[in-house]
């Protein structure tokens, strides 16, 4: 294919996406952005917390901008190891391993759990990083209906004697509902399977001392449970973590390609996230704000006749009539100073378009109330 034909084909595909309301655009924001943020994931407002900024600044002056190499070359610093020890203690696991992103942590964890003949049983609403991890692993994958424990049990029962892994989020990123973790673990254990839980939207938001949904379910430290999470949501930083038995973390260090061949998380970010962990562990007041505001958002939006999810944490989704309407709704809110998430196929697992609101404790109360009014007034 000639270069001109290739570029023309890309243009035609972009035109088709535009007609379907699926165009995506980058919107750069200034540091002094005055927009009310109900789109970002800084749940506890820790990205700008003075203790977090001070720790990151000190590490930046000591180590410089980047890690300068992969973790196994020159990228492991005292900041990384201190963060991993802190995360393992918080999550109640033997060990924790920090990756440069939550995406890479999920891909690496899924791949590392796969052995010959392994069956992966994956929830239909799982995040793209888990889906890609399943695909890249090359293992047979059965996708079960959302939060359907009976379907998971049936899939495991249909593969007796095979190693298996049940793959799920804890708080699902699309609608904010909570997976039936206790039941999933019971079924997995009955069939000799492992349970992998992506606690990205639960860590810092739910559980004892904010230790996440896995801890809230009483599964912290179980030898057949592996926990992953991003460090970019409630902890306000960047990076990802995989936590579980010491033997599995050692396996990751020695075999996970997304860990071995990737430049390490910058030490300043690791130090800042470590400080964020310490703040989050004592942040029950912030978590109480999230709970109250999520309930308020549901009540106000439903009173306006909107179709709203039942959130189990700090994610609230509002159904839009279609992808174009969702895009226009989000744009109208942005024009009035309110940022909301806009989820459209293929980012949604059920072909339903949504606005996604992520509740933040750091947003002033008056701004939060105003944002809800704007969302209602801009509704299609």
Q: How far is CA 283 from the centre of its chain?
A: 20
150 contacts: CB under 8 Å, gap ≥ 6 = none
How many Cα atoms within 13 Å fall on the side-chain side of residue 34? 3
Final residue in a domain of this structure, among 229, 264, 281? 281
Query: Do 71 and 194 share a domain, yes or no?
Result: yes
* pLDDT for res 321: 94
Number of domains in the chain: 2
Query: Do 227 and 108 share a domain, yes or no?
Result: yes
pLDDT digits (tens, 9 = 90+) for 272-330: 999 999 999 999 999 999 999 999 999 999 999 999 999 999 999 999 999 999 999 99
Low-confidence ranges of the chain (pLDDT < 70): 1
Judge whether 356 lies within some domain.
yes
Determine how many CB atoms are found less than 10 A away from the CB of residue 77: 22
Query: Do 255 and 323 share a domain, yes or no?
Result: no
Query: Do 85 and 57 share a domain, yes or no?
Result: yes
Query: Do 107 and 214 share a domain, yes or no?
Result: yes
Do you find a cis peptide bond into 206, omega within 30 degrees of 0? no
Give the C-alpha separation, 77 to 74, whole Å.
8
Query: Do 310 and 258 share a domain, yes or no?
Result: no
Query: Do 91 and 136 share a domain, yes or no?
Result: yes
* The pair of three-digit structure tokens given for residue 218, joined into one six-digit string: 């009483």
Determine how many CB atoms are found less than 10 A away from the CB of residue 18: 11
Judge whether 26 lies within some domain.
no
* pLDDT for res 365: 97
∠ CA 108-113-119 to the nearest 5 degrees? Answer: 120
Sign of the dihedral defined by the CA atoms of residues 110, 116, 121, 125, in that order: positive
Judge whether 92 lies within some domain.
yes
Give the C-alpha separation, 297 to 284, whole Å.
20
Query: Do 58 and 163 share a domain, yes or no?
Result: yes
Crossing angle of helices 181-190 and 149-157, in 10° steps, is: 10
Judge whether 29 lies within some domain.
no
* pLDDT for res 93: 98
CA dihedral 81, 204, 136, 140 (to 10 degrees): 120
* The pair of three-digit structure tokens given for residue 337, joined into one six-digit string: 């100073």
* pLDDT for res 262: 98
Judge whether 18 lies within some domain.
no
Judge whether 13 lies within some domain.
no
In which domain, by residue range, is 331 found?
Answer: 34-47+284-377
129 contacts: CB under 8 Å, gap ≥ 6 = 102, 103, 106, 107, 198
Final residue in a domain of this structure, among 238, 262, 281? 281
Judge whether 95 lies within some domain.
yes
245 and 225 in contact (C-beta within 8 Å)? no
**Catalytic center residues:** 41, 127, 169, 173, 198, 201, 233
231 and 271 in contact (C-beta within 8 Å)? no
Judge whether 353 lies within some domain.
yes
Final residue in a domain of this structure, among 266, 281, 296? 281
Query: Do 311 and 339 share a domain, yes or no?
Result: yes
Query: Do 106 and 164 share a domain, yes or no?
Result: yes
* pLDDT for res 1: 65
The model's pTM is: 0.95
Query: Do 214 and 262 share a domain, yes or no?
Result: yes
Torsions phi, psi for 277 (to 5 deg): -60, -45
Query: Do 315 and 326 share a domain, yes or no?
Result: yes
Helix (H, G, I), strand (E, B) or coil at 313: coil
Domain CATH code at residue 290: 3.90.1150.10
* pLDDT for res 346: 81
């Amino acid at each position: 294919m000639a270069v001109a034909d290739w570029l023309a084909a890309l243009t035609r595909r972009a035109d088709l996406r535009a007609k379907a309301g699926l165009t995506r655009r980058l919107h750069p924001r200034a540091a002094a952005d005055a927009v009310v943020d109900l789109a970002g994931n800084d749940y506890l407002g820790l990205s700008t917390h003075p203790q977090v900024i001070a720790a990151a600044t000190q590490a930046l002056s000591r180590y410089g901008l980047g890690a300068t190499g992969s973790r196994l070359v020159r990228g492991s610093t005292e900041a990384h190891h201190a963060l991993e020890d802190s995360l393992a203690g918080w999550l109640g696991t033997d060990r924790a391993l920090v990756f440069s992103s939550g995406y890479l942590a999920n891909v690496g964890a899924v791949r590392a759990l796969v052995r010959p003949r392994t069956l992966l049983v994956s929830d239909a609403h799982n995040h793209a990083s888990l889906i890609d991890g399943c695909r890249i692993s090359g293992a047979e994958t059965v996708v079960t209906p959302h939060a359907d424990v009976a379907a998971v049990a049936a899939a495991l029962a249909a593969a007796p004697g095979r190693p298996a892994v049940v793959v799920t989020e804890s708080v699902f990123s699309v609608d904010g509902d909570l997976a039936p973790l206790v039941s999933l673990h019971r079924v997995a254990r009955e069939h000799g399977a492992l349970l992998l839980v992506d606690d990205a939207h639960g860590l810092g938001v739910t559980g004892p001392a904010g230790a996440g949904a896995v801890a809230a379910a009483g599964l912290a430290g179980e030898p057949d449970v592996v926990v992953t999470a991003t460090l970019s949501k409630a902890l306000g930083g960047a990076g990802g973590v995989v936590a579980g038995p010491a033997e599995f973390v050692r396996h990751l260090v020695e075999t996970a390609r997304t860990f071995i061949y990737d430049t390490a998380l910058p030490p300043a970010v690791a130090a800042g996230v470590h400080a964020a962990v310490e703040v989050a562990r004592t942040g029950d007041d912030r978590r109480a704000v999230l709970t109250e505001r999520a309930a308020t958002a549901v009540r106000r939006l439903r009173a306006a006749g909107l179709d709203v999810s039942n959130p189990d944490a700090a994610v609230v989704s509002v159904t839009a009539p279609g992808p174009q309407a969702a895009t226009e709704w989000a744009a109208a809110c942005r024009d009035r100073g309110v940022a909301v998430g806009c989820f459209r196929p293929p980012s949604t697992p059920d072909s339903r378009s949504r606005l996604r609101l992520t509740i933040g404790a750091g947003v002033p109360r008056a701004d939060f109330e105003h944002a809800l009014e704007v969302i209602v007034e801009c509704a299609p």
